Copies of this chain bind each other. A is one copy, B any other.
Amino acid sequence: MELRTMILGHFLVISLALNAGLLYRDYYYNGNKPKSQNVFSFNTNNECKNASNRDAHVAKRAILETQALAEVIDLDHGDPTMYEQYWQQMGDKTTVVIPGWKFISYFSDVNNLCWFLEPEFANAIIRLHKLVGNAVTEDRYIVVGTGSTHLFQAVLYAVSPTNASEPINVVSAAPFYSSYPLITDFLKSGLYKWGGDAREFKKNKPYIELVTSPNNPDGLSREPVVNQNHGILIHDLAYYWPQYTSISSSPADHDIMLFTVSKSTGHAGTRLGWAIVKNQEIAKKMTEYIVLSTIGVSKESQLRAAKILQVLADTHEHRNNFKENEAFFDHSYNLMARRWKQLRDAVEKSKLFSLPEFIHGKCAFSGRTFASQPAFAWLKCEGETEDCESFLRHHKILTRSGKHFGESPQYVRISILPRDEIFDQFTDRLSGINFS
C-alpha cells in the first residue's frame, strides 16, 4: 500500500476513534447537529485558534465521558489513563516544584556522553532497574529521548550504514507494533526502510530486527527470528514490567534496550523514554540524532519523571512509609489481574471471540507465578467474521485492526489501560454481543 495512504489510514482510524465519541456526545446529549469535526488531524473548525479554559474543559470532559458511556468506546490507542487513580491517591508525594530560573541552559551534564540527560533522571532509572531486576545498567550508556518512539528513530540512525548503496531493511515479526512501518518510512530516508515481517525476511543482507518483548499487540514474549549474520537487534522492552509479565531472574542484557515512562508509570504526557546501550559509538550516534532532531529533551519532564520513579521505588523499598497496597507494582499488578479476569469472563460469555493464552511464569521481582496480563488484548473474532474491527465498530467499540500489525483483519488490538468506567462499559458491552 502506498505510504501516504497507509499514514492517512492510520490517522483516520485514530481520528474516527476520538471523533466518534464527541460526535455522539454532542448529537445525543447537547441536542445539536453533529459538528463536522475530526478531533485528530482533520479539524475543519476554528481549532487551535482560541485556547479553551483548562479547568472547565477537564470538568466538561469528565461529564461528557460519563454521559457518553452508553455510546462509542474508544480503545484503539494505549492512552494509559488507568494509572491516574493511583497517582491521585498518592497525593503530594510526587509533587515537583520548579523555580523559574532552572533549565535555562541546553546542557545538563557536560561530563556525560549524553549531555542533555539530567543526572537525577539517570539515577532514578538505575535505581528502578536495580529494584525490578529487569535490565542491566552497570557499564552501560543511558540515552534519553522524547519517548521511546524518538529513541527508536535514534537507533535506526545510529546503526544504519552511512555509505551503503541502499537503505538497510528494518524488520519485525508479525504481529508487529503498527507504528514501526510508519515511523521507519515516513521520511523516505535513504538510510533505512521498512522490510516487513521478520519471518519473511530471507535476504542475505544487513538488517535491523525489532524485538518487542512483551510484544505489542499480542503480549507474547519474543526472541529474534531472523538469526542471520549482519543483523542488529533492537529490544523494545516498553512492557517488560512486573504488572504486565513475570520478570526473569537474569536482568535483560541486550545490546540496545528501549524503555518508556508511558507504560511503566503511566505518564504518557511526559514524553520520556530511555535507552540502555552497550556500545559507546552507538550511544554517541543516538545522542547525535537527538541533538539534530530536537537539541536534547525536556528537562522539566526529566526532573518530574525522576521524582515519580524515585517515589515508585520508595513504595517498594520503604513500605512502612506508605499505606497498604500503595507499592506501585503490586497495585498495578492487581489492577491488571482484575481487568484480565473481567475481560476473559466477558469473552467467555460472548462466545464470539478468543484471546491468547499465556504460559505461567515465576516472577523474580514479586515472587508470584502468573500468566502475562499485557497492556493490550489481541482479540480474535472467531467464526465467519472476517473484519473484526468493522464488526466491533458496528457495536461502537473502536479498536485497531490486525491488518495494521501485519496480521489478519480477524484480529484486533484493544487497550486494557483506559479509566475504570470505560473498561467496565467495554466488558459489559462485549459480553452482550451476539451475531446480529
Residues of A bordering B, CB below 8 Å: 4, 7, 11, 18, 22, 37, 39-44, 46-54, 57, 61, 77, 79-81, 83-84, 87-88, 90-123, 126, 137-143, 146-147, 149-150, 153, 157, 162-163, 179, 182-183, 186-191, 262, 266-272, 280, 283-284, 287-289, 291-301, 303-304, 307-308, 311
Assembled-state Cα–Cα distance A216/B116 (Å): 23
What B residues does A52 contact at CB under 8 A? Answer: 109, 111, 119
| Cβ distance A165 to chain B, nearest Cβ, rounded Å | 12
Indicate if the CB atoms of A101 and B79 lie closer than 8 Å. no
Q: Which of B114, B149, B300 contacts A270 (CB 8 A)?
A: B300
What B residues does A49 contact at CB under 8 A? Answer: 137-142
Indicate if the CB atoms of B83 and A104 lie closer than 8 Å. yes
Indicate if the CB atoms of B106 and A100 lie closer than 8 Å. no
What B residues does A83 contact at CB under 8 A? Answer: 104
Number of copies: 2
Indicate if the CB atoms of B115 and A40 lie closer than 8 Å. yes
For this complex, 27 residue pairs linking A to B, each with C-beta atoms less than 8 Å apart, are A4-B162, A4-B163, A18-B110, A18-B115, A43-B280, A47-B113, A47-B114, A48-B112, A48-B113, A48-B143, A49-B139, A51-B121, A54-B120, A94-B100, A104-B266, A105-B268, A106-B269, A146-B294, A179-B292, A187-B189, A271-B294, A271-B295, A271-B297, A271-B299, A298-B301, A300-B300, A300-B303
| A-B pairs with lowest CB-CB distance, top 4 | A94-B100, A188-B190, A103-B269, A51-B122
What B residues does A311 contact at CB under 8 A? Answer: 100
Q: Which of B7, B79, B116, B138 contacts A105 (CB 8 A)?
A: B79
What B residues does A98 contact at CB under 8 A? Answer: 95-98, 304
| Cβ distance A135 to chain B, nearest Cβ, rounded Å | 14
Assembled-state Cα–Cα distance A9/B91 (Å): 49
* 16 extra A-B contacts, CB within 8 A, seeds A57-B109, A87-B100, A96-B98: A39-B111, A41-B287, A43-B280, A48-B140, A51-B109, A51-B119, A51-B120, A51-B126, A88-B101, A94-B99, A95-B97, A95-B98, A105-B269, A149-B295, A183-B293, A271-B295
Chain B residue at smallest Cβ distance from A8: B288
Indicate if the CB atoms of B104 and A100 lie closer than 8 Å. no
Chain B residue at smallest Cβ distance from A110: B39
Indicate if the CB atoms of A46 and B139 lie closer than 8 Å. yes
Assembled-state Cα–Cα distance A179/B103 (Å): 22
What B residues does A142 contact at CB under 8 A? Answer: 48-49
Indicate if the CB atoms of B299 and A39 lie closer than 8 Å. no
Q: Which of A22, A109, A142, A163 has the most CB of B within 10 A?
A: A109
Indicate if the CB atoms of A298 and B146 lie closer than 8 Å. yes
Indicate if the CB atoms of A104 and B57 lie closer than 8 Å. no
Q: With contacts A48-B112, A99-B94, A186-B157 known, is A298 near B270, CB below 8 A?
A: yes
Chain B residue at smallest Cβ distance from A37: B111
Q: With contacts A47-B112, A49-B138, A51-B122 known, is A81 near B57, CB below 8 A?
A: no
Q: With contacts A43-B113, A93-B100, A113-B47 known, is A53 near B119, CB below 8 A?
A: yes
